A = this chain, B = another copy of it.
Amino acid sequence: MSRDTELVRYANYMGEPDPTEPSLASRLRLAVVRLNRRMRAQRTSSTVSLTQVSAMSCLGKCGPLTPGELAAKEGVQPPSMTRVIATLEESGLVSRRPHPTDGRQAIVELTEQGSAYLRAEVSAREAWLDLTLARLTEQERELLSRAAEIIDRMAGQ
């Protein structure tokens, strides 16, 4: 997209504010904040938190990664990821091994147990979300599916 096109879009988008109606940014912010809270509050028997599940999903999807790569993909700072990895390693869900050529780096990957967890337990954690999604219409789910893609792209910028 050219810089000009982008500016025109921004002008068009910002040009007609409706003071009686909350902006799209406001509504999207509130919706995301609230769903995030709701998902975190969803307790499972497991001790693995939403953040940890998210990191494990990333490893499951991308394969073994260095801590730095994992932090970048999850959009957190390296020290935050250090802690997530340490906790998961203590639980035996991920393992670390030395990088073959660079002594500074490490390779983090799911253990057998971690993979099994991802297959079986993640869906348990997501039970509430699954059920809530199931209550929607097929059209609404299709819409959310596309929205998830867009939101993920926005967050990754």
**Is B143 in contact with A30, judged by CB distance below 8 angstroms?**
no
A137 to chain B minimum Cβ distance, whole angstroms, is 8
Q: Knowing A26-B126, A144-B28 touch, does A157 contact B132 (C-beta < 8 A)?
A: yes
Point out the residues of chain B lying under 8 angstroms from A26, CB to CB: 57, 122, 126
**Is B30 in contact with A54, judged by CB distance below 8 angstroms?**
yes
A39 within 8 A of B: yes
Q: Which of A53-105 contact B (CB under 8 A)?
A: 54, 57, 61, 74-76
How many copies the complex holds: the figure is 2
**Is A74 in contact with B34, judged by CB distance below 8 angstroms?**
yes
A9 within 8 A of B: yes
- For A131, give the chain B residue with the smallest CB separation: B10
- For A141, give the chain B residue with the smallest CB separation: B24
Point out the residues of chain B lying under 8 angstroms from A136, CB to CB: 150, 154
Chain A residues within 8 Å of chain B by Cβ, number: 62
Point out the residues of chain B lying under 8 angstroms from A43, CB to CB: none
A121 to chain B minimum Cβ distance, whole angstroms, is 13
Point out the residues of chain B lying under 8 angstroms from A155, CB to CB: 31, 34-35, 37-38
In the bound assembly, the distance between CA atoms of A23 and B24 in angstroms comes to: 26
Q: Say which residue of B10, B29, B57 sits within 8 Å of A30 (CB atoms).
A: B57
Binding site for B on A (CB under 8 A): 1, 6, 9-10, 12-14, 22-39, 50-51, 54, 57, 61, 74-76, 122-123, 126, 129-138, 140-141, 143-152, 154-157
